[in-house]
Amino acid sequence: MTPQSASVEAGRGLLPQDLRAWLEQHADALDDGRLDAATVLPRLAAAGVFRQGVPEARGGLPGTDIGDAIEAVSQVAELSVASAFVAWGQRVFIEYLLRSPNTALADAWLAPLLGGEQAGATALSNAMKFLSGIESLQIGAREAEDGQWVLDGRMPWVTNLRVQGFLVAAAVTAPDGTPAVVALPHDIAGLVRSPDLSLLALQSSNTAALDVRGVRIGPEWLIHPDAREYLPQARPAFAGLQCGLSIGLARRALLAAAQAGQGQASRGILGAPLEALRAQVGALSDSLIEGVRNGRFVAEPWALFEIRIALADAANQAVQLELQASGGAAYLRPAGAGFARRWREAAFLPIVTPSLVQLKTELAKRKARLAAGAAA
């Protein structure tokens, strides 16, 4: 079974063959940064990845919804998590605009975002943690005499900051103290991009830091005036698309483990665990997509957190099974290059914001509150 046929079995084959072949060929170079990160976004856009789940009237593919968008990210992640990380950032930013009451902002930018001419970056991980009381917002706004907002702060880790041009979504504390969500264009005065961060993996993802130094914006850049109202509605798509990284990596590692175990003594020992984990990933994926589609996770974010944790754990288990099935071959170059990349990719999943530790902390707090309520 090829990686391509595995995708079709797990869900509809949403990626064209030429994109699959390109991702398969360049996966290692995308991971270690040997391939220019600027090449990723146009490839994904040309394949229609960002149009999945976007209303047809806004430039999307007819008959698709957010579940198809999650599946598309998953299928990219089967071949390259670095590319899937870019796809996640771009598609989430598009989702922010689709959900924004600022229709003029969406009308101005959706077409170049869908076409891959402009990158969309999400710096709202800090805001998602703010919602749960984990940390304060890192950008503050004061009002200037002309009514504009003047922003100062820092975004320490943002992906898809394509040097050819990007928009970044950020949460800021408005002058009246209300948390708001704004968009900032790459060339606005006072927005300073660092060099790409030196990551252990996912190097061709245009991941960098942003300093915000006296950036002035008007209402035309406001995505939503109240983050507390807006972000709970956007969070299921944010986290659901992010889960595509784990789903895709788990599928690919399980496939590699099954292929490595064929005709070997390990096949009998590992067969049952492989089948059990494959079924678990499928069930979790189905639950995730159903919950995002029907809006369950808006009212029950903890259920989404549990799925995100379980999928990241499943991906790590899948990579370990691949190692066991492959044996010493996984530790040799160049034969084990694909495994080594997946091992590094799996190490990223627990720490991508919100991290598993942060999510588990929130679930523990909820459990404690429920226990206290029951005792009362």
Pair 209, 294 in one domain: no
CATH assignment of the domain containing 260? 1.20.140.10
pLDDT at residue 331 in the model: 85
Query: Does residue 136 surpass a pLDDT of 90?
Result: no
Residue that finishes a domain, picked among 174, 203, 226: 226
Q: What are 58-67's contacts with CB under 8 Å, separation 24+?
A: 58/98, 58/106, 58/110, 59/110, 59/111, 59/114, 60/114, 65/293, 66/95, 66/237, 66/240, 66/289, 66/292, 66/293, 67/289, 67/290, 67/292, 67/293
- The rounded distance, in Å, linking the Cα atoms of 262 and 259 is 5
pLDDT at residue 35 in the model: 94
Pair 142, 190 in one domain: yes
- Please give the mean pLDDT across all residues of the chain: 92
CATH assignment of the domain containing 107? 1.10.540.10
The pair of structure tokens assigned to 177 is: 């103290």
Residue that finishes a domain, picked among 119, 148, 175: 119
Pair 211, 238 in one domain: no
Q: Is position 8 within any domain? A: no
| pLDDT tens sequence across 326-371 | 988 888 888 778 999 999 999 999 998 888 988 898 899 889 999 8
CATH assignment of the domain containing 218? 2.40.110.10
| pLDDT tens sequence across 264-304 | 545 678 889 999 999 999 999 999 999 999 999 999 999 99
Query: 175: exposed, middle or buried (C-beta count within 10 Å: 0-12, 13-18, 19+)?
Result: middle
Q: Is position 140 within any domain? A: yes
- The rounded distance, in Å, linking the Cα atoms of 130 and 111 is 31
pLDDT at residue 266 in the model: 54
| pLDDT tens sequence across 44-87 | 999 999 999 999 999 999 999 999 999 999 999 999 999 999 99
Query: Does residue 230 surpass a pLDDT of 60?
Result: yes
Pair 331, 219 in one domain: no
DSSP SS3 for 285: helix
Domain count within the chain: 3
Pair 244, 219 in one domain: no
Pair 218, 236 in one domain: no
The domain of 309 spans 228-371
**Model's pTM, two decimal places?**
0.93
Pair 316, 341 in one domain: yes
Tell me whether strands 166-173 and 119-123 are parallel, antiparallel or unpaired.
parallel
Query: Does residue 248 surpass a pLDDT of 90?
Result: yes
- The rounded distance, in Å, linking the Cα atoms of 71 and 77 is 10
Pair 47, 176 in one domain: no
- The rounded distance, in Å, linking the Cα atoms of 19 and 73 is 13
Pair 159, 71 in one domain: no
Q: Is position 4 within any domain? A: no
pLDDT at residue 373 in the model: 87
Residue that finishes a domain, picked among 61, 84, 119: 119
The pair of structure tokens assigned to 240 is: 């659901």
Pair 115, 143 in one domain: no
Q: Is position 324 within any domain? A: yes
